[in-house]
Structure 1
Amino acid sequence: MERAGLDGIDQSILAELTKNARVPHAVLASKVMLSRNAVRQRIERMERQGYIQGYTVVAGGENQDSVSAFLMVYRKDRMRGADVLSALRAIPEVVLCDVLSGDFDLMVRVEARTLGRVQEIWEEIAAIPGVADTVTAMTLSNVIRRRPAQ
């Protein structure tokens, strides 16, 4: 998908950041064949232009529709389930993970480009060793969406 105002290298950087928003600049630089400093400068420019907001890639520099879901996750061992948390941290589309009281242990919010990707993530989470069960609720619309007060 071509984005106005971005060249091919910028688009490659965004594609890599979409796959893994935590990719080190040095690794990213080797993938797009630029210096680490040049990659950093391009990322900073795209942040200023709004293509990258809060380490989330936003196509076109403006909010775009995405598919989101909440997964309620029950771990097999509630007190020693750090392996589940580590696995969730590795999924870039996981934008929220809260530990809960009550029946389920975790509330996980997933935001992805397609419904198919949400399903892939759900399957990935369900297959994590230590996950006993999940319940999924798809988001139909966002009524209130605020950034936390700073």
Structure 2
Amino acid sequence: MIDAKEIVRQFLLQVRSGLHPDHADRFMAGRVRAHQVVSEAPEVVERTPAQYTEHVQEMLDAYGAFALTVDELIAEGDRVYARWTQTGRHLGPVDGHEPTGVPVTATTSAVYRVEDGLIVEYWIQIDRQGVAAQLGSPAAGH
């Protein structure tokens, strides 16, 4: 069986990257608890692999074929910490911001819990303020 670290690496590179979003069911359990770590309003949602595929498609609609670079992976037991950088272009509406075509970079980190070879839970943090600043400022350094 592939170890937890490699499962998360392949999930990020194949599914989250937008390369093969329809392969989510190869890496995710039937229901995954997704902890959206937002300081002012934390939320836990459950996602199926099909819903995750839709989520990645929404990112592709908003940012086009984006690049995802895995910057760090650290594993301990059933938990894997991942940090990545995602870069695309603002090609579709995002949080009320109409498309500008400017490059957008998001730095994200998450801890994934893997059980029986599948992701069953994760805690994710996205630099939402940094993304919002890029979307609101078409001429901002890009």
The TM-score, its normalising length taken from structure 2, stands at 0.24
The TM-score, its normalising length taken from structure 1, stands at 0.23
Rg bigger for which structure?
1
Higher helix share: 1
